[in-house]
Amino acid sequence: MERLFRSLWGPFTALGLGIAALACAADQALKLWLLFVFKLAERGVVAVGPFVELVLTWNTGISYGWFQQETPLGQWLLLAFKALAVGLLWVWMARAGSRSSALALGLIIGGAFGNAIDRLAYGAVADFVLFHIETATWRFNWYVFNLADVAIVAGVAVLLYESLLGGTPQKRPDPTDTAEPR
């Protein structure tokens, strides 16, 4: 039992879980407000700025609408895959050696939980932000996304930054050290 606890709890696990809870709560609060108070489904497309619109879409697949699943079995398989991924991320978080890693993994876990709650409650994930660029002859639409997706992408970005650029710097040689190298 102690071995299991050690594999699931590390020095920064509480931080990561706190971030996960905040990310999930913020995602769900915004979705509930947009669905039931703002009534986005009834309003249709709502312009927020020149490049951003709110528009409700229901994603029955995974990221970017891949692997659309309409059947209950397909939905449960996606949830099982997500549960496995979250479990592995939690183990990684328990072994995290820095606050930034724990923060990043917490964002990813919180986003995954936020989208999983949608899948359980509605059978699909509520997406609502559409980023687009438009000219007189051309239009680019990004995929419609939600706050949970933003948390996941931000977490991945922090992990990429940390793995590529954020490593521990090597100790510089002391210029006053006159000892001969071995």
Sheet arrangement for strand 46-47: 46-47, 52-59, 125-134, 139-141
Q: Which two tokens stand for residue 158?
A: 């922090």
Any idea which residue has 């050290």 for tokens?
A: 177
Decide if 81 contacts 111 (C-beta within 8 A).
Answer: no
Residues carrying an active site annotation: 127, 149
Tokens of 31: 């979705």
